[in-house]
Structure 1
Amino acid sequence: QPNLFGDPKKAMRNAYNSTDKLILENTRDLGRGGSTAVTAIVVDGKELWVANVGDSRAVVCHDGGNADQLTVDHEPQTERRRIERQGGFVTAIPGDVPRVDGQLAVARTFGDGNLKRHLSSEPDFRSLRIESNTEFVILASDGLWKVMNNEEAVNLVRNIKDPQVAARHLTAEALARKSKDDISCIVIRFG
Protein backbone atom coordinates (compact mmCIF):
# COMPACT_ATOMS: atom_id res chain seq x y z
CA GLN A 1 0.00 0.00 0.00
CA PRO A 2 1.28 3.49 -0.83
CA ASN A 3 2.00 5.68 2.21
CA LEU A 4 2.43 2.63 4.42
CA PHE A 5 4.81 4.39 6.78
CA GLY A 6 3.86 7.99 5.95
CA ASP A 7 0.17 7.48 6.73
CA PRO A 8 -0.31 4.04 8.33
CA LYS A 9 -3.98 4.60 9.11
CA LYS A 10 -4.83 5.44 5.51
CA ALA A 11 -2.73 2.55 4.20
CA MET A 12 -4.39 0.09 6.57
CA ARG A 13 -7.89 1.38 5.73
CA ASN A 14 -7.16 1.00 2.01
CA ALA A 15 -5.77 -2.50 2.56
CA TYR A 16 -8.84 -3.56 4.55
CA ASN A 17 -11.21 -2.16 1.91
CA SER A 18 -9.24 -3.85 -0.89
CA THR A 19 -9.20 -7.17 0.97
CA ASP A 20 -12.95 -7.10 1.59
CA LYS A 21 -13.63 -6.21 -2.04
CA LEU A 22 -11.33 -8.97 -3.31
CA ILE A 23 -12.97 -11.60 -1.09
CA LEU A 24 -16.47 -10.54 -2.15
CA GLU A 25 -15.49 -10.55 -5.85
CA ASN A 26 -14.11 -14.09 -5.51
CA THR A 27 -16.90 -15.66 -3.48
CA ARG A 28 -17.38 -18.32 -6.12
CA ASP A 29 -13.81 -19.56 -5.68
CA LEU A 30 -13.33 -18.79 -1.99
CA GLY A 31 -16.75 -19.75 -0.65
CA ARG A 32 -19.41 -17.66 1.03
CA GLY A 33 -17.77 -17.27 4.44
CA GLY A 34 -15.73 -14.47 5.83
CA SER A 35 -12.95 -13.64 8.21
CA THR A 36 -11.91 -11.34 11.00
CA ALA A 37 -8.45 -9.76 11.03
CA VAL A 38 -5.91 -7.94 13.14
CA THR A 39 -2.84 -6.29 11.64
CA ALA A 40 0.10 -4.29 12.93
CA ILE A 41 2.62 -1.90 11.44
CA VAL A 42 5.76 -0.87 13.30
CA VAL A 43 7.00 2.53 12.09
CA ASP A 44 10.72 3.24 12.56
CA GLY A 45 10.75 0.99 15.64
CA LYS A 46 9.08 3.84 17.53
CA GLU A 47 5.37 3.58 16.82
CA LEU A 48 2.95 0.66 16.67
CA TRP A 49 -0.24 0.90 14.62
CA VAL A 50 -2.92 -1.80 14.89
CA ALA A 51 -6.19 -2.27 13.05
CA ASN A 52 -8.88 -4.92 13.34
CA VAL A 53 -12.28 -6.10 12.20
CA GLY A 54 -14.23 -8.65 14.19
CA ASP A 55 -12.89 -10.32 17.30
CA SER A 56 -9.27 -10.86 16.34
CA ARG A 57 -7.29 -8.98 18.95
CA ALA A 58 -3.99 -7.20 19.66
CA VAL A 59 -2.74 -7.19 23.26
CA VAL A 60 0.43 -5.35 24.29
CA CYS A 61 2.60 -6.24 27.28
CA HIS A 62 4.41 -3.40 29.02
CA ASP A 63 5.64 -2.24 32.43
CA GLY A 64 6.71 -5.64 33.67
CA GLY A 65 3.71 -7.72 32.64
CA ASN A 66 0.72 -5.40 32.30
CA ALA A 67 -1.61 -6.48 29.48
CA ASP A 68 -3.55 -3.85 27.53
CA GLN A 69 -5.99 -4.68 24.77
CA LEU A 70 -5.34 -2.37 21.83
CA THR A 71 -8.28 -3.47 19.68
CA VAL A 72 -12.07 -3.46 19.92
CA ASP A 73 -14.04 -6.72 19.78
CA HIS A 74 -16.77 -5.92 17.24
CA GLU A 75 -19.72 -7.68 18.83
CA PRO A 76 -23.27 -7.48 17.44
CA GLN A 77 -24.69 -6.16 20.71
CA THR A 78 -22.37 -3.13 20.76
CA GLU A 79 -23.13 -2.32 17.10
CA ARG A 80 -26.87 -3.02 17.26
CA ARG A 81 -27.90 0.51 16.24
CA ARG A 82 -25.78 0.49 13.08
CA ILE A 83 -26.94 -3.03 12.17
CA GLU A 84 -30.61 -2.08 12.63
CA ARG A 85 -30.16 1.17 10.65
CA GLN A 86 -28.84 -0.99 7.82
CA GLY A 87 -31.94 -3.22 7.95
CA GLY A 88 -30.54 -6.07 10.03
CA PHE A 89 -31.28 -7.36 13.50
CA VAL A 90 -29.41 -8.80 16.45
CA THR A 91 -30.70 -11.95 18.15
CA ALA A 92 -30.08 -12.68 21.80
CA ILE A 93 -31.22 -16.26 22.38
CA PRO A 94 -30.60 -17.55 25.93
CA GLY A 95 -27.56 -19.81 26.02
CA ASP A 96 -26.06 -18.33 22.85
CA VAL A 97 -24.06 -15.21 22.00
CA PRO A 98 -25.80 -12.30 20.22
CA ARG A 99 -25.74 -12.77 16.44
CA VAL A 100 -26.25 -10.55 13.37
CA ASP A 101 -29.45 -11.73 11.67
CA GLY A 102 -29.34 -14.78 13.94
CA GLN A 103 -26.19 -16.06 12.20
CA LEU A 104 -22.89 -14.28 12.77
CA ALA A 105 -21.31 -13.60 16.19
CA VAL A 106 -19.30 -10.57 14.98
CA ALA A 107 -20.47 -7.27 13.51
CA ARG A 108 -17.45 -6.53 11.29
CA THR A 109 -15.79 -8.95 8.88
CA PHE A 110 -14.21 -9.41 5.50
CA GLY A 111 -16.51 -11.21 3.08
CA ASP A 112 -19.73 -12.80 4.40
CA GLY A 113 -21.51 -11.56 1.28
CA ASN A 114 -24.92 -12.93 2.27
CA LEU A 115 -24.93 -10.64 5.36
CA LYS A 116 -22.77 -7.83 3.98
CA ARG A 117 -25.51 -5.22 3.89
CA HIS A 118 -25.72 -5.51 7.70
CA LEU A 119 -21.99 -5.85 8.38
CA SER A 120 -19.01 -3.52 8.12
CA SER A 121 -15.42 -4.09 7.11
CA GLU A 122 -14.33 -0.71 8.47
CA PRO A 123 -11.44 -1.34 10.88
CA ASP A 124 -10.82 0.29 14.22
CA PHE A 125 -7.35 1.76 14.64
CA ARG A 126 -5.02 2.41 17.52
CA SER A 127 -1.51 3.76 17.65
CA LEU A 128 0.94 3.43 20.49
CA ARG A 129 4.37 4.89 21.08
CA ILE A 130 6.87 2.08 21.62
CA GLU A 131 8.67 2.94 24.86
CA SER A 132 11.55 1.19 26.61
CA ASN A 133 8.98 -0.62 28.80
CA THR A 134 6.97 -1.94 25.81
CA GLU A 135 7.86 -5.65 25.76
CA PHE A 136 5.76 -7.34 23.06
CA VAL A 137 2.40 -7.49 21.32
CA ILE A 138 0.27 -10.56 20.67
CA LEU A 139 -1.90 -10.60 17.53
CA ALA A 140 -4.36 -13.50 17.57
CA SER A 141 -7.71 -14.73 16.34
CA ASP A 142 -10.61 -15.54 18.64
CA GLY A 143 -9.60 -19.20 18.80
CA LEU A 144 -7.03 -18.03 21.33
CA TRP A 145 -9.08 -15.35 23.10
CA LYS A 146 -12.11 -17.60 23.66
CA VAL A 147 -10.07 -19.84 25.96
CA MET A 148 -7.79 -17.36 27.75
CA ASN A 149 -7.93 -13.74 28.81
CA ASN A 150 -5.40 -11.05 27.93
CA GLU A 151 -3.46 -11.35 31.19
CA GLU A 152 -3.18 -15.14 30.91
CA ALA A 153 -1.82 -14.89 27.37
CA VAL A 154 0.78 -12.29 28.37
CA ASN A 155 1.86 -14.26 31.44
CA LEU A 156 2.18 -17.50 29.45
CA VAL A 157 4.80 -16.06 27.09
CA ARG A 158 6.38 -13.19 28.94
CA ASN A 159 9.57 -15.13 29.65
CA ILE A 160 9.84 -16.68 26.17
CA LYS A 161 12.26 -14.50 24.21
CA ASP A 162 11.79 -16.08 20.76
CA PRO A 163 8.53 -14.68 19.31
CA GLN A 164 7.90 -17.74 17.12
CA VAL A 165 8.28 -20.07 20.09
CA ALA A 166 5.97 -17.79 22.09
CA ALA A 167 3.30 -17.87 19.36
CA ARG A 168 3.52 -21.67 19.10
CA HIS A 169 3.25 -21.95 22.90
CA LEU A 170 0.07 -19.83 22.94
CA THR A 171 -1.43 -21.89 20.12
CA ALA A 172 -0.58 -25.17 21.88
CA GLU A 173 -2.09 -23.89 25.13
CA ALA A 174 -5.30 -22.84 23.35
CA LEU A 175 -5.57 -26.33 21.84
CA ALA A 176 -4.90 -27.91 25.25
CA ARG A 177 -7.79 -25.80 26.57
CA LYS A 178 -10.01 -27.33 23.87
CA SER A 179 -10.38 -24.28 21.62
CA LYS A 180 -12.87 -25.17 18.89
CA ASP A 181 -12.14 -22.19 16.62
CA ASP A 182 -9.37 -21.39 14.16
CA ILE A 183 -6.22 -20.19 15.91
CA SER A 184 -3.82 -17.73 14.30
CA CYS A 185 -1.16 -16.12 16.48
CA ILE A 186 1.84 -13.83 16.00
CA VAL A 187 4.05 -12.36 18.71
CA ILE A 188 6.20 -9.28 18.01
CA ARG A 189 8.94 -8.45 20.53
CA PHE A 190 10.36 -4.96 20.97
CA GLY A 191 13.75 -3.85 22.18
Structure 2
Amino acid sequence: MVNSVMEADRSGLLSKIKRAICCNSPPPDTGKGKCKSKSSINRVSHGFHLVEGKSGHNMEDYHVAEYRKINGHSLGLFAIFDGHLGDRVPSYLKENLFNNILEQSNFWEYPKLAIGNAYHSTDKLILENAVELGPGGSTAVTAIVIDGKDLWIANVGDSRAVVCERGSANQLTVDHEPHSERKRIEKQGGFVTTLPGDVPRVNGQLAVARAFGDQSLKAHLSSEPDIRHVPIDSTIEFVILASDGLWKVMKNQEAVDLVKSIKDPQMAARRLTAEALARKSKDDISCIVIRFG
Protein backbone atom coordinates (compact mmCIF):
# COMPACT_ATOMS: atom_id res chain seq x y z
CA MET A 1 0.00 0.00 0.00
CA VAL A 2 2.82 2.41 0.95
CA ASN A 3 4.68 1.62 -2.29
CA SER A 4 1.57 2.30 -4.36
CA VAL A 5 1.06 5.67 -2.65
CA MET A 6 4.71 6.59 -3.28
CA GLU A 7 4.41 5.59 -6.92
CA ALA A 8 1.25 7.69 -7.28
CA ASP A 9 3.00 10.69 -5.73
CA ARG A 10 5.98 10.27 -8.04
CA SER A 11 3.68 9.88 -11.03
CA GLY A 12 1.92 13.12 -10.11
CA LEU A 13 5.24 14.94 -9.73
CA LEU A 14 6.49 13.67 -13.08
CA SER A 15 3.26 14.85 -14.70
CA LYS A 16 3.82 18.33 -13.26
CA ILE A 17 7.38 18.35 -14.57
CA LYS A 18 6.26 17.27 -18.04
CA ARG A 19 3.58 19.97 -18.11
CA ALA A 20 6.18 22.55 -17.08
CA ILE A 21 8.59 21.43 -19.80
CA CYS A 22 5.89 21.57 -22.45
CA CYS A 23 4.45 24.90 -21.33
CA ASN A 24 6.31 27.56 -23.30
CA SER A 25 6.32 31.18 -22.27
CA PRO A 26 4.46 33.64 -24.54
CA PRO A 27 6.29 34.57 -27.75
CA PRO A 28 8.98 37.00 -26.63
CA ASP A 29 8.16 39.65 -29.23
CA THR A 30 4.37 39.91 -28.69
CA GLY A 31 4.41 42.12 -25.60
CA LYS A 32 0.86 40.99 -24.79
CA GLY A 33 -0.25 40.57 -21.23
CA LYS A 34 -1.04 43.97 -19.84
CA CYS A 35 -3.86 43.73 -17.33
CA LYS A 36 -5.07 45.53 -14.26
CA SER A 37 -6.35 44.54 -10.84
CA LYS A 38 -8.18 46.70 -8.35
CA SER A 39 -7.63 45.80 -4.71
CA SER A 40 -9.33 47.22 -1.68
CA ILE A 41 -6.29 49.36 -0.89
CA ASN A 42 -4.34 50.40 -3.97
CA ARG A 43 -4.80 49.98 -7.68
CA VAL A 44 -2.16 47.66 -9.17
CA SER A 45 -1.35 47.35 -12.86
CA HIS A 46 1.47 45.75 -14.77
CA GLY A 47 3.01 45.27 -18.20
CA PHE A 48 5.78 43.02 -19.45
CA HIS A 49 8.02 42.46 -22.44
CA LEU A 50 10.49 39.69 -23.26
CA VAL A 51 13.08 39.74 -26.04
CA GLU A 52 15.20 36.79 -27.15
CA GLY A 53 18.90 37.61 -27.09
CA LYS A 54 21.66 37.11 -29.62
CA SER A 55 23.86 34.76 -27.61
CA GLY A 56 23.41 31.77 -29.91
CA HIS A 57 20.89 29.83 -27.81
CA ASN A 58 17.11 29.65 -27.64
CA MET A 59 15.12 31.86 -25.29
CA GLU A 60 15.77 30.82 -21.68
CA ASP A 61 13.83 33.54 -19.82
CA TYR A 62 10.34 32.94 -18.44
CA HIS A 63 7.98 35.20 -16.56
CA VAL A 64 4.88 35.14 -14.36
CA ALA A 65 2.39 38.02 -14.18
CA GLU A 66 -1.03 37.15 -12.77
CA TYR A 67 -3.57 37.89 -10.07
CA ARG A 68 -5.31 35.51 -7.69
CA LYS A 69 -8.04 35.82 -5.08
CA ILE A 70 -7.27 33.63 -2.06
CA ASN A 71 -8.89 33.66 1.40
CA GLY A 72 -10.41 37.05 0.74
CA HIS A 73 -7.07 38.53 -0.29
CA SER A 74 -6.03 39.93 -3.66
CA LEU A 75 -2.59 38.73 -4.71
CA GLY A 76 -0.41 39.96 -7.55
CA LEU A 77 2.21 37.38 -8.50
CA PHE A 78 5.16 38.45 -10.64
CA ALA A 79 8.47 36.80 -11.49
CA ILE A 80 11.39 36.69 -13.89
CA PHE A 81 13.28 33.40 -14.28
CA ASP A 82 16.56 33.55 -16.22
CA GLY A 83 17.68 30.05 -17.18
CA HIS A 84 21.05 28.68 -18.17
CA LEU A 85 21.93 25.42 -19.93
CA GLY A 86 18.40 25.15 -21.29
CA ASP A 87 14.92 26.31 -20.36
CA ARG A 88 13.54 23.34 -18.43
CA VAL A 89 14.32 24.65 -14.95
CA PRO A 90 12.88 28.16 -15.51
CA SER A 91 9.85 26.55 -17.16
CA TYR A 92 9.35 24.36 -14.10
CA LEU A 93 9.68 27.39 -11.81
CA LYS A 94 7.08 29.29 -13.83
CA GLU A 95 4.56 26.51 -13.24
CA ASN A 96 5.38 25.62 -9.64
CA LEU A 97 7.25 28.15 -7.50
CA PHE A 98 4.31 30.39 -6.57
CA ASN A 99 2.10 27.36 -5.94
CA ASN A 100 4.74 26.03 -3.57
CA ILE A 101 4.91 29.38 -1.76
CA LEU A 102 1.15 29.70 -1.37
CA GLU A 103 0.80 26.09 -0.23
CA GLN A 104 2.97 26.82 2.81
CA SER A 105 0.67 26.68 5.83
CA ASN A 106 2.38 29.68 7.43
CA PHE A 107 2.28 31.99 4.40
CA TRP A 108 -0.31 34.42 5.77
CA GLU A 109 1.28 34.71 9.23
CA TYR A 110 4.96 34.47 8.30
CA PRO A 111 5.37 35.22 4.58
CA LYS A 112 9.15 35.66 4.80
CA LEU A 113 9.60 32.21 6.34
CA ALA A 114 7.15 30.66 3.86
CA ILE A 115 8.94 32.16 0.85
CA GLY A 116 12.32 30.96 2.08
CA ASN A 117 11.02 27.45 2.77
CA ALA A 118 9.38 27.27 -0.65
CA TYR A 119 12.57 28.35 -2.42
CA HIS A 120 14.49 25.57 -0.65
CA SER A 121 11.88 22.85 -1.20
CA THR A 122 11.50 23.80 -4.87
CA ASP A 123 15.26 23.63 -5.40
CA LYS A 124 15.30 20.20 -3.72
CA LEU A 125 12.59 18.95 -6.08
CA ILE A 126 14.50 20.25 -9.11
CA LEU A 127 17.67 18.46 -8.00
CA GLU A 128 15.80 15.22 -7.25
CA ASN A 129 14.37 15.27 -10.76
CA ALA A 130 17.48 16.29 -12.69
CA VAL A 131 16.95 13.37 -15.10
CA GLU A 132 13.71 14.97 -16.33
CA LEU A 133 14.73 18.61 -15.92
CA GLY A 134 18.32 18.34 -17.14
CA PRO A 135 21.57 19.75 -15.72
CA GLY A 136 20.70 23.45 -16.06
CA GLY A 137 19.51 26.02 -13.59
CA SER A 138 17.89 29.41 -13.24
CA THR A 139 18.05 32.68 -11.37
CA ALA A 140 14.81 34.11 -10.01
CA VAL A 141 13.32 37.35 -8.82
CA THR A 142 9.78 37.13 -7.45
CA ALA A 143 7.32 39.73 -6.24
CA ILE A 144 4.10 39.16 -4.31
CA VAL A 145 1.72 42.09 -3.86
CA ILE A 146 -0.81 41.46 -1.07
CA ASP A 147 -3.99 43.56 -1.16
CA GLY A 148 -2.13 46.36 -2.90
CA LYS A 149 -0.43 47.33 0.38
CA ASP A 150 2.41 44.89 1.00
CA LEU A 151 5.20 43.95 -1.40
CA TRP A 152 7.37 40.89 -0.79
CA ILE A 153 10.46 40.60 -3.01
CA ALA A 154 12.81 37.59 -3.11
CA ASN A 155 15.70 36.62 -5.37
CA VAL A 156 18.52 34.21 -6.09
CA GLY A 157 21.10 35.17 -8.70
CA ASP A 158 21.39 38.44 -10.59
CA SER A 159 17.87 39.11 -11.81
CA ARG A 160 16.94 42.31 -10.03
CA ALA A 161 14.04 44.30 -8.55
CA VAL A 162 14.27 48.10 -8.39
CA VAL A 163 11.58 50.32 -6.85
CA CYS A 164 10.91 53.94 -7.75
CA GLU A 165 10.27 55.83 -4.51
CA ARG A 166 9.68 59.57 -4.83
CA GLY A 167 11.46 59.44 -8.17
CA SER A 168 14.58 57.74 -6.81
CA ALA A 169 15.73 54.21 -7.60
CA ASN A 170 16.16 51.78 -4.70
CA GLN A 171 17.45 48.28 -5.41
CA LEU A 172 15.44 45.73 -3.42
CA THR A 173 17.45 42.64 -4.35
CA VAL A 174 21.03 41.47 -3.94
CA ASP A 175 23.12 40.53 -6.97
CA HIS A 176 24.58 37.19 -5.91
CA GLU A 177 27.92 37.45 -7.69
CA PRO A 178 30.70 34.87 -7.13
CA HIS A 179 33.35 37.35 -5.94
CA SER A 180 31.07 38.59 -3.13
CA GLU A 181 30.53 35.02 -1.87
CA ARG A 182 34.05 33.71 -2.49
CA LYS A 183 34.65 32.74 1.17
CA ARG A 184 31.48 30.63 1.35
CA ILE A 185 32.21 28.97 -2.00
CA GLU A 186 35.80 28.13 -1.06
CA LYS A 187 34.70 26.85 2.36
CA GLN A 188 32.37 24.45 0.53
CA GLY A 189 35.23 23.16 -1.64
CA GLY A 190 34.69 25.30 -4.73
CA PHE A 191 36.66 28.13 -6.27
CA VAL A 192 36.08 31.39 -8.12
CA THR A 193 37.92 32.25 -11.32
CA THR A 194 38.41 35.72 -12.73
CA LEU A 195 39.97 35.46 -16.17
CA PRO A 196 40.96 38.54 -18.22
CA GLY A 197 37.99 39.85 -20.19
CA ASP A 198 35.51 37.67 -18.31
CA VAL A 199 33.34 37.95 -15.20
CA PRO A 200 34.02 35.95 -12.00
CA ARG A 201 32.64 32.41 -12.23
CA VAL A 202 32.02 29.58 -9.77
CA ASN A 203 34.42 26.76 -10.68
CA GLY A 204 35.10 28.60 -13.93
CA GLN A 205 31.54 28.03 -15.10
CA LEU A 206 28.61 29.94 -13.58
CA ALA A 207 28.53 33.73 -13.20
CA VAL A 208 26.20 33.70 -10.17
CA ALA A 209 26.72 32.29 -6.68
CA ARG A 210 23.07 31.39 -6.03
CA ALA A 211 20.57 29.69 -8.31
CA PHE A 212 17.96 26.98 -8.62
CA GLY A 213 19.18 23.66 -10.04
CA ASP A 214 22.70 23.30 -11.50
CA GLN A 215 23.22 19.85 -10.02
CA SER A 216 26.92 19.58 -10.95
CA LEU A 217 27.73 22.81 -9.08
CA LYS A 218 25.21 22.56 -6.26
CA ALA A 219 27.78 21.68 -3.60
CA HIS A 220 29.15 25.20 -4.09
CA LEU A 221 25.97 27.10 -4.93
CA SER A 222 23.24 28.35 -2.61
CA SER A 223 19.48 28.56 -3.15
CA GLU A 224 19.03 30.82 -0.11
CA PRO A 225 16.95 33.82 -1.25
CA ASP A 226 17.34 37.38 -0.08
CA ILE A 227 13.86 38.56 0.96
CA ARG A 228 12.57 42.11 1.43
CA HIS A 229 9.25 43.50 2.62
CA VAL A 230 8.16 46.93 1.38
CA PRO A 231 4.95 48.57 2.66
CA ILE A 232 3.25 50.20 -0.33
CA ASP A 233 2.30 53.80 0.37
CA SER A 234 1.93 56.97 -1.68
CA THR A 235 5.72 57.32 -2.08
CA ILE A 236 6.04 53.98 -3.93
CA GLU A 237 5.37 54.60 -7.63
CA PHE A 238 6.42 51.45 -9.45
CA VAL A 239 8.74 48.44 -9.40
CA ILE A 240 10.88 47.09 -12.24
CA LEU A 241 11.70 43.36 -12.31
CA ALA A 242 14.22 42.39 -14.97
CA SER A 243 16.83 39.83 -15.94
CA ASP A 244 20.48 40.77 -16.20
CA GLY A 245 20.07 41.32 -19.94
CA LEU A 246 18.72 44.72 -18.91
CA TRP A 247 20.91 45.47 -15.88
CA LYS A 248 24.18 44.68 -17.69
CA VAL A 249 23.69 47.79 -19.82
CA MET A 250 21.60 50.07 -17.58
CA LYS A 251 22.00 51.51 -14.10
CA ASN A 252 19.08 51.46 -11.67
CA GLN A 253 18.45 55.21 -11.76
CA GLU A 254 18.73 55.27 -15.54
CA ALA A 255 15.99 52.66 -15.81
CA VAL A 256 13.72 54.54 -13.40
CA ASP A 257 14.31 57.89 -15.12
CA LEU A 258 13.60 56.34 -18.51
CA VAL A 259 10.05 55.27 -17.64
CA LYS A 260 8.84 57.24 -14.62
CA SER A 261 6.82 59.56 -16.85
CA ILE A 262 5.22 56.63 -18.73
CA LYS A 263 1.99 55.80 -16.92
CA ASP A 264 1.16 52.72 -19.01
CA PRO A 265 3.29 49.90 -17.54
CA GLN A 266 3.13 47.92 -20.79
CA MET A 267 4.65 50.82 -22.69
CA ALA A 268 7.21 51.26 -19.91
CA ALA A 269 8.33 47.61 -20.13
CA ARG A 270 8.67 47.88 -23.91
CA ARG A 271 10.63 51.11 -23.56
CA LEU A 272 13.12 49.48 -21.21
CA THR A 273 13.74 46.45 -23.41
CA ALA A 274 14.09 48.68 -26.47
CA GLU A 275 16.70 50.78 -24.70
CA ALA A 276 18.62 47.67 -23.60
CA LEU A 277 18.70 46.52 -27.22
CA ALA A 278 19.85 49.96 -28.34
CA ARG A 279 22.70 49.66 -25.83
CA LYS A 280 23.77 46.40 -27.53
CA SER A 281 22.65 43.92 -24.87
CA LYS A 282 23.18 40.45 -26.34
CA ASP A 283 21.48 38.46 -23.58
CA ASP A 284 17.81 37.54 -23.29
CA ILE A 285 15.97 40.57 -21.89
CA SER A 286 12.89 40.18 -19.68
CA CYS A 287 11.14 43.03 -17.94
CA ILE A 288 8.00 43.53 -15.83
CA VAL A 289 6.84 46.95 -14.64
CA ILE A 290 4.33 47.02 -11.74
CA ARG A 291 2.60 50.33 -11.05
CA PHE A 292 0.75 51.36 -7.90
CA GLY A 293 -1.96 53.95 -7.48
How far the C-alpha of 1:97 sits from its partner, in A, is 1.1
Please report the TM-score for the alignment, with normalisation by the length of structure 2: 0.62
Partner amino acid, structure 1, of 2:258:
L
Structure 1 residues 42-61: aligned runs within 5 Å: 42-61=145-164
5+ residue gaps, structure 2: 1-101
- Asked if 2 retains the 8 angstrom alpha-carbon contact of 1:80 and 1:89, the reply is yes
Structure 1 residues 47-126: aligned runs within 5 Å: 47-63=150-166, 65-126=167-228
Matched residue, 2:122: 19
Matched residue, 1:41: 144
Partner amino acid, structure 1, of 2:189:
G
2:135 aligns with one of 32, 43, 68: 32
- 3-state DSSP class of the match of 2:241? strand
Partner amino acid, structure 1, of 2:168:
N
Residues 15 and 182 of structure 1: is their aligned pair in 2 closer, same or farther, counting only changes over 3 Å? farther
User: What is the rounded CA distance, in whole Å, between the counterparts of 1:107 and 1:139 in structure 2?
Assistant: 19
How far the C-alpha of 1:75 sits from its partner, in A, is 0.6
- Asked if 2 retains the 8 angstrom alpha-carbon contact of 1:137 and 1:189, the reply is yes
How far the C-alpha of 1:94 sits from its partner, in A, is 2.2
- 3-state DSSP class of the match of 1:106? coil
Matched residue, 2:246: 144
Larger Rg: 2
- Asked if 2 retains the 8 angstrom alpha-carbon contact of 1:5 and 1:43, the reply is no
Moved more, 164-173 or 72-81: 164-173
- Asked if 2 retains the 8 angstrom alpha-carbon contact of 1:53 and 1:74, the reply is yes
Number of aligned positions between the proteins: 190
Greater share of residues in strand = 2
- Asked if 2 retains the 8 angstrom alpha-carbon contact of 1:8 and 1:41, the reply is no
Matched residue, 2:53: none
Partner amino acid, structure 2, of 1:138:
I
How far the C-alpha of 1:117 sits from its partner, in A, is 0.3
Where in structure 1 do 4 or more consecutive aligned residues deviate above 4 Å? none
1:157 aligns with one of 259, 265, 268: 259
Residues 178 and 26 of structure 1: is their aligned pair in 2 closer, same or farther, counting only changes over 3 Å? farther
- Asked if 2 retains the 8 angstrom alpha-carbon contact of 1:51 and 1:123, the reply is yes
How far the C-alpha of 1:24 sits from its partner, in A, is 2.0
How far the C-alpha of 1:25 sits from its partner, in A, is 2.9
What's the CA shift string for 1:57-106, capped at 9, x where partnerless? 1100011x200101110011110111011100111222211111111110
Moved more, 162-171 or 35-44: 162-171
Pair 1:6-2:114 in alignment: no
Partner amino acid, structure 1, of 2:245:
G
Determine what percentage of the aligned residue pairs are the same residue: 76
Matched residue, 1:167: 269
What's the CA shift string for 1:3-48, capped at 9, x where partnerless? 4343221221122123312322332333311111101112232221
User: What is the rounded CA distance, in whole Å, between the counterparts of 1:175 and 1:6 in structure 2?
Assistant: 42
How far the C-alpha of 1:128 sits from its partner, in A, is 1.5
Partner amino acid, structure 2, of 1:109:
A
Partner amino acid, structure 2, of 1:37:
A
